[in-house]
Structure 1
Amino acid sequence: MTVTAGTSTLTKFADPMPLPARLRADPADPLPTFTVRTLAAERQLHSELPPTALWTYEGGFPGPVFEVRRGQRIRVAWTNGVTTPYPAVDAYLPDAPGNPSLTMNDPGVGAAQPVPGVVGLPAWLVTHLHGAVTGGGNDGWMENALFHGDAQLSEYPNDQPAMTLWYHDHAMNITSLNVFSGLVGMYLLRDEEEDRLHLPSGGQEVPLILCDRNLATDEFGRLTGQLLHKTSGTLPFLGPYTLVNGRIWPYLEVRPGWYRFRVLNASNSRTYRLHLLDDQDQQVTVGAAWQIGTDSGLLGAPLPLTAEGLTLAPAERADLLVDFGAFAGRALRVVNSAPAPFRGDPVPAGYVLGTPLPASRLPEPDVMQFRVLGEPPVPEFTLPTELSASYYRLTHALLPADHEHRMLGLAADPDGTLGLWELGVVPDSEAPAKGQVLDGIVQVTDADGKTTTYKRLARHFDDQLNWRIRQDGWEVWRILNLSGILHPIHLHLTRFQPLSIDAYTTTAFDPALGGTAGGEPVAHTGPLPIDPSLTGWKDVMRVPPGQLVTIAGQFRGASGRYMYHCHILEHEDAGMMREFAVMPGVVMDVDNGMGGMSGMDDTSGMDGMGAGG
C-alpha cells in the first residue's frame, strides 16, 4: 500500500516498529541517579525518506523508557546538549476552514508563510515528568528552561501506584515546537500489586507512542524529511503522517497469544479513536483487546474494547492487553476514526473504518500493522477478573467534608484567543440587569434549576494567582466548556476521577462580549453517562464542548507551584495555562495578609450542580 504526498509516495507498513531504549533503576541502589541529555540527531522516520533532523533525549525519538519501582526515589540530571538550530519549518496558514493543505502535503509550505523568529530560536528546554507526584522545584516549571550546557536537577520519589507516565519538554511559549521536534519519552512505574497479576512482560510488553507529523517538500514536490509544523489561524497542528515509536506507519511482528501495550498519545493536538481491523475481512475485531489501566494506574477489572474504539486525546495513556491467539498467520491493522477538530462525537453511522476523511483533517486513518506469526506462541496467560484491589470508584459521598470547590470555564476571549476562566461566585446584587452583558460575568443554571452568577477572576497565565490548595487536601473542580471544540485538561501533581458529566446549552455565552446576558444563563439540559474507560484514575480529562465535567482528586505528597492547562500544545502556548500553589495547611493558616485566596471561588452549598454532584 502507498500514499501520495505531493508527488512523492511512502509505502505503508514497510518498516519494522522500533523499540525505545530502556533505563532501569537498580533496586539495590538507595538513590539511582541518571543523566539524560537532550541531543540533536538525525533519524529516518521512514526507510524511503532522507534522515530527519530532530531534538531528542539521548539520541532517540522517542527517548528511553524509564523503569522504576514504587517508592524507589531517583534523581535525573536533564542536561541540555543541543547546539543545532530549531530543526523544523514552522509555518502559518491564514485561517481557511476545510482547506486540505493544512494537513495534506503540498510543495514547500503552499500558501503558508514561515513564522518569523522561529528559525533563530535557541534550544531553551525544560523537562516535565507528566503525572509525577514531586515537589514544585522538580516539576519542570516552564520558565525555568535551560540553555546549552546547563542541567535541570529533578528528584522523583515515585511514591505512586504502578502506572504509565511520560516526560516531555515544557518550555514557556514553545512547548508545542520543542515536543514537535522530538522531545518525548515514556516512564513506567511498577509495584507489587501489578507483579501479582503476572501480566505479559519482556518482549510481550511493548510501548506504543503515537504522534502525527507533517513533512516539507522541495521545489519538485519530493519529501525532504524535514519536519513541517504547519498551523492555521484558529486550528492547532494536525499532520497527515502517523508515527508509532518514531516510525511512519510501521509494522510489528507478534506471536500468537497475549501482549501488553502501553499506549501514549504524544501528539500536539490530534485525538485518536483507535480500532483494530482484521485485514482478512476488513472487520473490526471484538473480544481480542482489553483495557486494564488509564493515565494513573490500573483499573479494578478489565474493560473490553468495543467496536466504538479507544479514544485518546493528547497526553492520555491506556494500558491494553491484546490476545493474538486466534490470528496466527494474519495481519491486523490499527486505524483512527477521529475527525479533527475533535468534539467527542461517536463514529458516524455508515462510516467504513479505515476510510480517509480529508475534509475532516484525517487524510490517512492508518496507524500501524500487526503481523501475527505462526509458531511458537507466547507463554500462556489468563486474563484476570480483578486487577487492582486498591482501586475504588470515587464518589462525592466519599470525599472528606472539608473538600474545596472550584469552577473553571473554557472560553474564547473577544479577540478569539482561548483562556482558562477561573470563576468565583458573586452575590445576586452584582448580577447583570436583564438582557445586559458584562465582560467576565457568566450565569449558569444547574440541574436543580438554581442560577448562579460567576465572575471571572483570571483567564491567562500572567493573571494573579488565585487558587492556593492545602497539601493533601481534596478538591472538586467543575470544568464547563463554553468553546466549540474538545479540550484535554491536565492538572499537574494530582490524579483524579470524574464524578459526573452534564450537558449544557452554551449558546447564551457571547465570546465577543465576554459573558452571558442577565437572565439568559448557560443552562443544564441533562446528565450524561461516563464512558467506563474514564472511570479509572486520570491526570488528563477530556472536556467536550457544551459539557460540564466534574472531577475530584487529592493534592497529596508534595507542595509548590504547579500548572494546569489544555494539553493541545498550541492552545497551551497561546494562553490556555494557569498556575496554582499547594501549601501545607498550617502555613496557609498563618494570617500574614498574603494568603487567603483559596476560597475566592467558594461554591459551598452547590453540591447539586450536575448529576452526582
Structure 2
Amino acid sequence: MTETTIQPVGKEEAVAELTPFLDALRIPPVLRPGREEAREGIEIELSATWVRLHSQLPPTRVWTYGGHMPGPTIDVRRGRRLRVTWTNRLTGSYPVTAVEAVPVPGAPSPSDVPGRSGAEPLAAVAALPPWTVTHVHGARTGGGNDGWTENAVSPGDSQLAEYPNDHRAVAWWYHDHAMDITRWNVYTGLAGMYLIRDEEEDALRLPSGEQEIPLVIQDKNLDQDEDGRLTGRLLHKTVVVDHETDGRNVAAAFSGPFTLVNGVIWPHLDVTARWYRFRLLNASNARIFELRLVDEETGEPVRGAMWQIGTDGGLLPRPVPLDEPLSVAPAERMDLLVDFGRLRGRRLRLVNVAAGVPHPQVMQFRVGAEEEHDRFVLPDVISGSFQRITHETAPKHGHRLIAITPPGTAGGGHPGMWEMHPVEEGGDFTPAEGLIQLKGKDGTVRTYRRGAKAFDDALGFMVEHDAWEQWSFLNLGGPTHPMHIHLIDFQVLGRDLYPAGAGSSFDTVLGGTRAPLEYAGSAPVSGGDAGWKDTIQVPAGQMVNVIGRFHGAKGRFMYHCHLLEHEDMGMMRPFTVMPAEVMAFHHMSGGDHHDGHMH
C-alpha cells in the first residue's frame, strides 16, 4: 500500500514487495590519489555489473564507474591536478527497459506504479549502444576536458581528461553526458561524487572519517514479471499526456516510486550520538526532493539538529538551520551537519514531503543510546573568505536573457529554451513569434528577439575570458527548471516575479508576448541559495538573475536544464569562452558579448 503520510514506527507497510529500512546504507569506496599518482593519472573503467538494490530483490544489472553504483568518491586536494582516463569497458545489452505510459483518469500516475502498466518496451532504447562521455559537474577545466556531449566513446576506447582542481573546498559530481541519451545513461548507474579539500575547510575540523558520508539520492522504477513480481530490472517509464492545445503527445520527465540512497532502496544507517557530515547529492533524472528529518515514533519534525554549511560551489558564510523542508533539485549538492548527540536512542526518518509523492520514505537513521565524547562545536562562521555579491557590489558585467517557454509554445510539444537578444527601441511593437517585451522594475519597457532555441542553431553566446556576466533565466510557465551553467560558479542576485501561465501576456499559440510582461515584485533568496551555486531552481513566474566570472578555462561549454529528459529533448545550448584579444578578430558576429541590458 502507498504511504500517504509520515507513519509512526511499526506502521510502515511494504511497498510492492519491498520493506523499507531493511538494508544498511552502502558507502562508496574512496579514491585518494597521491601527488605522484595524480600527476601520472588514474584510470576509471566503466563496466557492467550486478548489484542488489534491496535484499528482497534479485540482482539488478547496471552500468558503473569502477564496478560500483554510485561510483567511487574521488577525494583530492585543492590545486592538485588530476588526470583521469575514463575507459569504456561496457558490454552486453542495454540495462534499462524504457516505456511510455498513458495515464488513466482517476488512477494514480503511472510513474508512481511499479512495472510497465501494460506498456510495450521501446525497441530503440533496447538497441542503444554503450556510447558514453563523462562530465565532472562543477569542474573548472578546459573545454576539451569538460566531457563535450558529442565526444562520447564506444567500448574499447578511452576519454582522457585533466582536472586542475583549483577551487575552494567543494562537492562536485561526475556523470554521463552523452548527446540525446543522457537520461538513460545516467539512469543505468553512471554517477559518482568528487570532493576537493582545502586548508580553510581543514581548519573547521568538521566531522570526518566514518562521520562524513556521501548520500547520493535517486528515484527509480522497476520492471515486473507476468505475475506482478519485481524483477529488479531498471525501468524508465515516462508519462505521456495529450498536448493541451493541439492534441499532440508530450512525454513528462521521469519520476519513480522507489528512492535509492547510495544505490540501496530505502536504507538505514546506524550512527553514534555525535555530529555527522553528509554530502548530499540529488542524482535523480528529474525529481525535486523536499527533505525533512522526522522522529519515527511521533512523526513530528526534528528541529534544531540539522544545518546546511555548503552548497554546489562550496562552503556557506555561516550555518543555515534546517527546521523547514530542504528543497534539492537534480544536480544540486548540499553540505549538511546533523547533531545526533541530542537525539540519542531515537530512530529518525529522512522523508520527502513534496506534494504528490507516493512513498515519502528516503532513509532511516538509528541513533545509538550511548553518550559519545564529541569535541566538535558548530561554529558561528563557516567560511570567512566568502563574499556575497549584490546588485550594488557586483563587478562591471554584461547581461544575458534566457527565456524558458511552457509546453505548447508555437506548436512545440516540450518546454523550450530561447536565447534572447535586445532589439533597438523605437517604432510600434507588433507581436510576433520569438518576440518578448518586459517592463522592468524601473518601468522601462524592453523588447527582446529570439536568437536560438535548439542545440544545433548557430552559436549565440560568446564570452570574454575573465569577464563577469549576469544571466537571467525567465520561466514563462510550466515546471520548475534547475538550470546549470558549465565551467563557472555563480551567485543569485535576485528572484524577480513576472506573470506566467494563463494570466500572462505571453501567448503560447503565437510564441511571443501580446503586451509587456510587467515586473510584479521579488521573491526572497534563501540562505542556501545565497552561496556559490552552479545549478539554480527557476520556478514558473520567476526571473532568476545570477552572476559569475568566466575564468580559469577557455573553450566550448554548455548550459542546460538539469531535468535530464528536458536536456535530451532540446533544453541545452553551447557557449564559448575566448580571450578578448582573440575575439576581436572573430570572423563572424555570431552573437553579441556583453549582450544587452537587464535591470
Q: Quick check: TM above 0.5? A: yes
DSSP 3-state at the match of 1:178 = helix
Question: Aligned letter for 1:558?
Answer: A
Quick one: which of 278, 281, 295 aligns to 2:312?
Answer: 295
Contact (CA 8 Å) 2:145, 2:162: kept in 1 or not? yes
DSSP 3-state at the match of 2:155 = coil
Structure 1: gaps (5+ residues): 340-359
Deviations 1:381-404 (A, max 9, x none): 111111111101111333333x11
**1:246 pairs with 2:254:** no
Residue 510 of structure 1: aligned partner? 507
Deviations 1:174-229 (A, max 9, x none): 00000011000000000000000000000000000000000111111100001110
**1:270 pairs with 2:287:** yes
**1:399 pairs with 2:415:** no
Deviations 1:451-482 (A, max 9, x none): 11110001111111011001111000111101
Alpha-carbon offset, residue 445 of structure 1: 1.0
Structure 2: gaps (5+ residues): 1-10, 241-250
Change in CA separation of 1:101 and 1:418 when aligned onto 2, cut-off 3 Å: closer
Alpha-carbon offset, residue 27 of structure 1: 3.5
Residue 442 of structure 2: aligned partner? 448
Residue 354 of structure 1: aligned partner? none
Quick one: which of 163, 186, 197 aligns to 1:156?
Answer: 163
Contact (CA 8 Å) 1:286, 1:305: kept in 2 or not? yes
Question: Aligned letter for 1:476?
Answer: Q
Residue 480 of structure 2: aligned partner? 486
Alpha-carbon offset, residue 2 of structure 1: 5.4
Contact (CA 8 Å) 1:421, 1:459: kept in 2 or not? yes
Change in CA separation of 1:4 and 1:430 when aligned onto 2, cut-off 3 Å: farther
Residue 174 of structure 1: aligned partner? 181
Residue 67 of structure 1: aligned partner? 75
Distance 2:106 2:32 in 1: 46
Distance 2:420 2:299 in 1: 49
Question: Aligned letter for 2:156?
Answer: G
Distance 2:27 2:137 in 1: 21
Alpha-carbon offset, residue 374 of structure 1: 2.3
Contact (CA 8 Å) 2:50, 2:61: kept in 1 or not? yes
Which range moves more in the overlay, 23-32 or 209-218?
A: 23-32
Contact (CA 8 Å) 2:432, 2:510: kept in 1 or not? yes
Distance 1:49 1:211 in 2: 17
Contact (CA 8 Å) 2:475, 2:542: kept in 1 or not? yes
Distance 1:376 1:528 in 2: 43
Residue 87 of structure 1: aligned partner? 95
**1:498 pairs with 2:504:** no
- Which structure 2 residues correspond to residues 411-426 of structure 1 after superposition, within 5 A? 411-412=405-406, 413=409, 414-426=411-423
Contact (CA 8 Å) 1:2, 1:10: kept in 2 or not? no
Residue 380 of structure 2: aligned partner? 385
Which range moves more in the overlay, 406-415 or 486-495?
A: 406-415
Alpha-carbon offset, residue 101 of structure 1: 4.3
Distance 1:602 1:555 in 2: 18
Contact (CA 8 Å) 1:415, 1:512: kept in 2 or not? no
Quick one: which of 332, 346, 352 aligns to 2:348?
Answer: 332
Question: Aligned letter for 1:387?
Answer: I
DSSP 3-state at the match of 1:397 = coil
Change in CA separation of 1:334 and 1:431 when aligned onto 2, cut-off 3 Å: farther
Question: Aligned letter for 1:252?
Answer: L
Question: Aligned letter for 2:533?
Answer: K
Deviations 1:31-68 (A, max 9, x none): 15110011101101000000011011111110000000
Change in CA separation of 1:324 and 1:600 when aligned onto 2, cut-off 3 Å: closer
Contact (CA 8 Å) 1:126, 1:146: kept in 2 or not? yes
CA RMSD of aligned residues (A): 1.6
Distance 1:104 1:541 in 2: 26
TM-score by length of 2: 0.93
Question: Aligned letter for 1:527?
Answer: S
Distance 2:108 2:379 in 1: 46
Deviations 1:70-127 (A, max 9, x none): 0000100000000121101100123668752422335x51143322311010000000
DSSP 3-state at the match of 1:203 = helix
TM-score by length of 1: 0.91
Distance 2:13 2:82 in 1: 45
Distance 2:38 2:437 in 1: 54
Contact (CA 8 Å) 1:272, 1:311: kept in 2 or not? yes
Residue 278 of structure 2: aligned partner? 261
**1:208 pairs with 2:215:** yes
Deviations 1:519-540 (A, max 9, x none): x121211121111110000000
Question: Aligned letter for 2:132?
Answer: L
Distance 2:72 2:288 in 1: 24
Residue 463 of structure 2: aligned partner? 469
Contact (CA 8 Å) 1:101, 1:110: kept in 2 or not? no
Deviations 1:496-554 (A, max 9, x none): 0110111111221112211011xx12121112111111000000010000001110001
Distance 1:459 1:98 in 2: 36
Residue 349 of structure 1: aligned partner? none
Alpha-carbon offset, residue 429 of structure 1: 4.4
Question: Aligned letter for 2:319?
Answer: P
Which range moves more in the overlay, 176-185 or 371-380?
A: 371-380
DSSP 3-state at the match of 1:383 = coil
**1:371 pairs with 2:391:** no
DSSP 3-state at the match of 1:48 = coil
Alpha-carbon offset, residue 595 of structure 1: 4.5
Contact (CA 8 Å) 1:193, 1:388: kept in 2 or not? yes
Contact (CA 8 Å) 1:75, 1:156: kept in 2 or not? yes
Question: Aligned letter for 2:279?
Answer: R
DSSP 3-state at the match of 2:493 = strand
DSSP 3-state at the match of 1:452 = strand
DSSP 3-state at the match of 2:566 = helix
DSSP 3-state at the match of 1:396 = coil
Contact (CA 8 Å) 2:102, 2:110: kept in 1 or not? no
Change in CA separation of 1:430 and 1:27 when aligned onto 2, cut-off 3 Å: farther
Residue 568 of structure 2: aligned partner? 573
Question: Aligned letter for 1:515?
Answer: G
Question: Aligned letter for 2:182?
Answer: T
Residue 520 of structure 2: aligned partner? 525
Distance 2:533 2:299 in 1: 33
Deviations 1:276-305 (A, max 9, x none): 001132211111011100101001111111
Contact (CA 8 Å) 1:424, 1:600: kept in 2 or not? no
Change in CA separation of 1:298 and 1:150 when aligned onto 2, cut-off 3 Å: same
Aligned residues: 573
Distance 1:191 1:98 in 2: 54
DSSP 3-state at the match of 1:19 = coil
Alpha-carbon offset, residue 25 of structure 1: 1.7
Distance 1:567 1:289 in 2: 27
Change in CA separation of 1:508 and 1:559 when aligned onto 2, cut-off 3 Å: same
Question: Aligned letter for 1:262?
Answer: R
DSSP 3-state at the match of 1:525 = coil
Residue 529 of structure 2: aligned partner? 534
**1:228 pairs with 2:235:** yes
Distance 2:34 2:418 in 1: 45
Question: Aligned letter for 1:329?
Answer: G
Which range moves more in the overlay, 374-383 or 389-398?
A: 374-383
Contact (CA 8 Å) 2:101, 2:110: kept in 1 or not? yes
Distance 1:116 1:222 in 2: 23
Q: Could you tell me the percent identity over the aligned residues?
A: 50
Distance 1:431 1:420 in 2: 26
